[in-house]
Structure 1
Amino acid sequence: MNQPWSNGRVGMTGLSYVGYTQWAALSTNHPALRAIAPRSTNTNLGAAQLTPGEPEWGFYFKYVMDFYAVNDLLAHEEDYDWSRRPLVNAFEDAVEQMGVRPPAMDMHLSVTPPLRRFPEGHPLDAKPVPVLLSLGWFDPYCRGEAMRDYHAMTANPAWRPLVHLRLGPTDHDDTRLDDRPAAVEHQGSIDIPLLTPEQIRAWFDGELRFFDRYLKADADVEPLPPVEYQLAHSSEVRHTGSWPPPEVTRRVLHLSAGPDDTNGNLVSRRDAAATAVSWVHDPDKLVPTATNLWSLLVAEWPDYRATTDRDDVLAFRGEPQTEPLELAGPVTFHGTVTTTGPEMDLFAFLLDLEPDGSARFICRGQQRLTATDPTEVTMSVGEAGYVVRPGHSLLLMLCSSDYPDFIPLTGTRERWWFATSMRATTQTLEIGGRAGARLELTVL
């Protein structure tokens, strides 16, 4: 700032945790900070529950255990043993190996409220500065809460003209769907994509223009659009004044009874008769997370077809598309559910069922519910930016676990971290009739 080459105007950029540090810096109202360009992050990054009322994320726990404690030098062969009972013992073993007990471990496992995240006030309550927020359709960890940040800013007249949003077909590590297959580096059981210099430079194209305008105050630089987006399976980069685009419409698909207890249909008209379908949440037979590493959804590009065939999963299939269907905005699930347990987790995955039978990720949502009596649910299934191509079908998958990305319920009132005994529970969903479950899409 005091260097002869500096005009005293500071900007920040970076991905994930480095993106989060920008929000932290903004919360201090430092006068030199004039613009930020956070990518793949949000103001609540690292919380056990990113959004209140959702299941607890599990994967980040190993980050606070070894990566942030001993710079990822813990000598475990591949991963923690997520099958341990109680699970906390797997991490106690890691503490013994490291010779240090990370303070964050006990903070996350405690029922005591955590330390105040922003001691000097929330960043969105700070003096507004220009923001270029870049998010990927295939980053379900960060994007949901980041979109809440975006809508909070654009609802505030002081922030609205300074906010620029970029949305594209990338995962958390900025691997683009268009760039698959890419070269990989083998690290244990995980293949890490190797990005080319051109791909890395592409991250910063829009950011350099953003900083030229707001830090250099270069009036010759054309203003960035309020929103720039590219749908998955489309080469077109589009500009609009807000998100979702003002020209979108709503489309409703109803869940309909199918050929057996776990397979149904997505239809435009609801069944006249009300029926109920059920599935079991068995803590000894959990639905597995589809990726080896949560941040590499595009790089790994998993096929969910084996998951949709499980007997503890419900799958509702739409008719094949005769023309492209452009999804551009929120996807919402509405239904009435009941559980035989004290609580239930509901996971909803919207998938692209391809002609060869493979099922690919479009978006996802999850919620933790107290539903011992019939309970109406309105649940976000995330934000979709996806072209469902001709011959492809939409598939909605419902289940009650996604492990180890999420810490599951035990079927009792014990927390998974400390539990040694589990109990299976049954979840029931109403379909058909006036209260039947339905899926609400935002389409162009």
Structure 2
Amino acid sequence: MFVPVMCGTVFVHRAAMQSAPVIETNVLVPMRDGVRLAADVYRPSAAGRFPVLLCRTPYNKNGQAALAKFFVENGYAVVVMDSRGLYASKGEWHPYTDEGRDGYDTQQWIGQQPWSDGKVGMFGRSYPGYTQVAAAPYRNTYVKAIMPEAAQSSNFEAIWSWNGIYHLALGLSWGTGQEAIARGRPRPSPSWVEVMNHLPLKSSMDMIGVHSQFVGDTLSHETYDEFWRAMSIQEKYADMDVAAYHLTGWYDDLTHETISNFVNMRKLSRSDHARRWQKLLIGPWGHGVRSDPKYGDMDFGPQMATDLRKLHLHWYDYHLKGVRNGLETEAPIRIFVMGENVWRDEQEWPLTRARATRLYLHSTGTANTRMGDGTLSDKTPGAERSDVYAYDPRYPVPTYGGHGSGGGGITRDGAFSIQGPMDQRSTQQRADVLVYTTENLPADTEVTGAAELNLFFSTDVIDTDFFATLSDVYPDGRAILITEGALRTRHRESREMTKLLTPKQTYEVKIPLWETSNVFKAGHRIRLHITSSNFPRFNRNLNSGKPMAEEMEEDIRVAHQVILHDAQHPSSLMLPVVPADAKRGTPQR
């Protein structure tokens, strides 16, 4: 089994391994405003000072006990803290906005404890990943290294909204669930299908039975404004000065955000040391490192397995203990190349050797369904008929696969599954889905990086959505989802403002697809499908142009979408293709 970690010495406190750890529960740590947050402290039973690993979480500190004990066995003290206002911590729960200050204050407290040697690291996935990067601009001198897994840079562009389209299932279920916990109540369990279909969205919390001011604000703030800036680190990279190991998966809803953190911290951090010590790992999984090679409808083989605990020790031993374990000789980037199913080291992102390769959309006007005549080729279009489909918000395309972190049980099973690389044939047989496919590929074709759809369209409504999905079509017909992108047209010019459409006017938009790495094997085909909904992962655009929180059933408009692909309107898909003779790095099976 291949583990993407260089071999090396692991320094262990022998005495710590021979007896149970000392555990102090519900230690109240004072913040600058006097509020006290609860932490569990795990430390070796041996006398002395130790490097300390910190996790700050809104998901109950008790859930990290096993991992904390593992770190103690390997010579670390560990502090796991409940976020402000949740579980045993005091104060009021305000998602995201308090994490930077509270993180710094906690780090400062740790550095001054008699069992701390003054070197602090951080760990955690998802929200606990965000707590790491949120505290980074405060530059606590005790903090030497962090390891954010699946951490966002801006909540507007990933977790809560995607180019203006609201993450409905996740937003409503996560937001109200955390609010219930803050009030000492169990997570709500309404009929989520009814909740997701309810209009207007602003009263959906009446059906859930829990009202969250935060969720209400996420629904009403449709542009990137001060509400969202308060939860963003995008303007703060130049204030950071810490070594960071960033982890994500090709099917995480934070793929782009994690890569953005890596790229910008590598470019903008204050010191040479911090810029040099940015690392990135991307595997064939979703919202968290997986050990099971089977994911969605794919099996990536045993070589994809990653020992996350060893990965942590390798990173912390070097930066907090000074162990020369070979980390300094490793490449800054390691990616899993799907299709080939190998790990590969890289020195840069994006890959400069990738060539922008454009495939044009073609048809005779009947690209509807995978049985239609839509094609992709490098031939520029001439006089071609447009493709047309009707998007009726009352009958949306159901979520099936793709990037995601779930949705509180809403999008886990059956027709609403978000499980990454799912076979898209059921979606591609709908009449409101346009499908464009290449001929059988004569040779292996590697796509690594961010694809982009350049789309010419018109519609008869003043606002609508477009979803673009790239799939790998196998010789047996399976169409495995590789990556996807989406756009709410009112956000076509800016995330900071909205601009409605003029019906029946032609527009050109660029729809970015999330980064990926996949080898489309010889004999396979590359497929693009286009539609206007992905429900309930995202909220339905009712095509009315009204604020999404206020739209009612009577506001629903059926949108007649026209996709143009002629000489004057050459709709195309740009793919970052890595030429076979330019493949570098060190692949390992």
User: TM-score category by the smaller chain?
Assistant: 0.7 to 0.9
Three-state SS of the structure 2 residue aligned to 1:69 is helix
Larger Rg: 2
Give the structure 2 partner of residue 426 of structure 1. Answer: 560
Is the CA contact 1:352–1:392 (under 8 Å) kept in the aligned structure 2? yes
Is the CA contact 1:169–1:177 (under 8 Å) kept in the aligned structure 2? no
Select the residue among 165, 180, 199 that pairs with 1:69. Answer: 180
Letter in 2 for 1:114: F
Is the CA contact 2:246–2:279 (under 8 Å) kept in the aligned structure 1? yes
Alignment of 1:31-430 (within 5 A): 31-45=141-155, 53-61=163-171, 62-70=173-181, 73-76=187-190, 81-95=195-209, 98=210, 101-111=211-221, 114=227, 117=230, 122-139=235-252, 141-156=253-268, 158=270, 160-175=275-290, 178-180=293-295, 202-223=307-328, 224-258=330-364, 260-262=366-368, 263=372, 264-291=374-401, 294-295=404-405, 299=419, 301-370=421-490, 371-372=501-502, 373-418=505-550, 419-421=552-554, 422-430=556-564
Letter in 1 for 2:465: D
| 1:220-265 CA-partner distances (Å, limit 9, x unpaired) | 4331421111112334221121012333222211111157242300
Letter in 2 for 1:356: D
Letter in 1 for 2:321: K
User: How many pairs does the alignment contain?
Assistant: 424
Select the residue among 577, 580, 584 that pairs with 1:443. Answer: 577
Structure 2, unmatched stretches of 5+, are 1-110, 407-416, 491-500, 579-589
Alpha-carbon shift at residue 107 of structure 1 (Å): 2.0
Letter in 2 for 1:37: M
CA distance in 2 between counterparts of 1:149 and 1:76 reads 36
CA change 1:78–1:434 in 2 (3 A) is closer
Is the CA contact 2:336–2:343 (under 8 Å) kept in the aligned structure 1? yes
Alpha-carbon shift at residue 357 of structure 1 (Å): 2.2
Q: Is 1:23 aligned to 2:133, yes or no?
A: yes
| 1:117-137 CA-partner distances (Å, limit 9, x unpaired) | 259995413232111111111
Structure 1, unmatched stretches of 5+, are 183-195
Alpha-carbon shift at residue 330 of structure 1 (Å): 1.3
Letter in 2 for 1:173: G
CA distance in 1 between counterparts of 2:116 and 2:390 reads 62
| 1:286-306 CA-partner distances (Å, limit 9, x unpaired) | 111114994367857432111
CA distance in 2 between counterparts of 1:120 and 1:396 reads 33
Letter in 2 for 1:31: T
Scaled by the length of structure 1, what TM-score is found? 0.86
Q: Which structure has more strand as a fraction of its residues?
A: 1
CA distance in 2 between counterparts of 1:176 and 1:356 reads 27
Alpha-carbon shift at residue 151 of structure 1 (Å): 2.9
| 1:356-379 CA-partner distances (Å, limit 9, x unpaired) | 222211011111214433222122
CA distance in 2 between counterparts of 1:269 and 1:48 reads 34
CA distance in 2 between counterparts of 1:93 and 1:51 reads 22
Alpha-carbon shift at residue 102 of structure 1 (Å): 2.3
Letter in 2 for 1:64: G
State percent identity of aligned pairs: 23
| 1:200-233 CA-partner distances (Å, limit 9, x unpaired) | x712333322222222233443314211111123
| 1:371-406 CA-partner distances (Å, limit 9, x unpaired) | 433222122111121122233211101111111111
CA distance in 1 between counterparts of 2:464 and 2:397 reads 14
| 1:317-355 CA-partner distances (Å, limit 9, x unpaired) | 111223322211110111222221111211110011222
CA change 1:181–1:330 in 2 (3 A) is closer
Alpha-carbon shift at residue 169 of structure 1 (Å): 0.9
Give the structure 1 partner of residue 39 of structure 2. Answer: none
CA distance in 2 between counterparts of 1:103 and 1:161 reads 41
Is the CA contact 1:170–1:177 (under 8 Å) kept in the aligned structure 2? no
Three-state SS of the structure 1 residue aligned to 2:569 is coil
Alpha-carbon shift at residue 316 of structure 1 (Å): 0.3
Q: Which deviates further from its counterpart, 308-317 or 61-70?
A: 61-70
Is the CA contact 1:350–1:361 (under 8 Å) kept in the aligned structure 2? yes
CA change 1:276–1:72 in 2 (3 A) is farther
CA distance in 2 between counterparts of 1:266 and 1:165 reads 33
CA distance in 1 between counterparts of 2:336 and 2:402 reads 26
**CA RMSD for the aligned pairs?**
3.0
CA distance in 1 between counterparts of 2:155 and 2:291 reads 22
Is the CA contact 2:134–2:233 (under 8 Å) kept in the aligned structure 1? no
CA distance in 1 between counterparts of 2:227 and 2:153 reads 15
Q: Which deviates further from its counterpart, 416-425 or 65-74?
A: 65-74
CA distance in 2 between counterparts of 1:293 and 1:334 reads 21
CA distance in 1 between counterparts of 2:259 and 2:233 reads 23
Scaled by the length of structure 2, what TM-score is found? 0.66
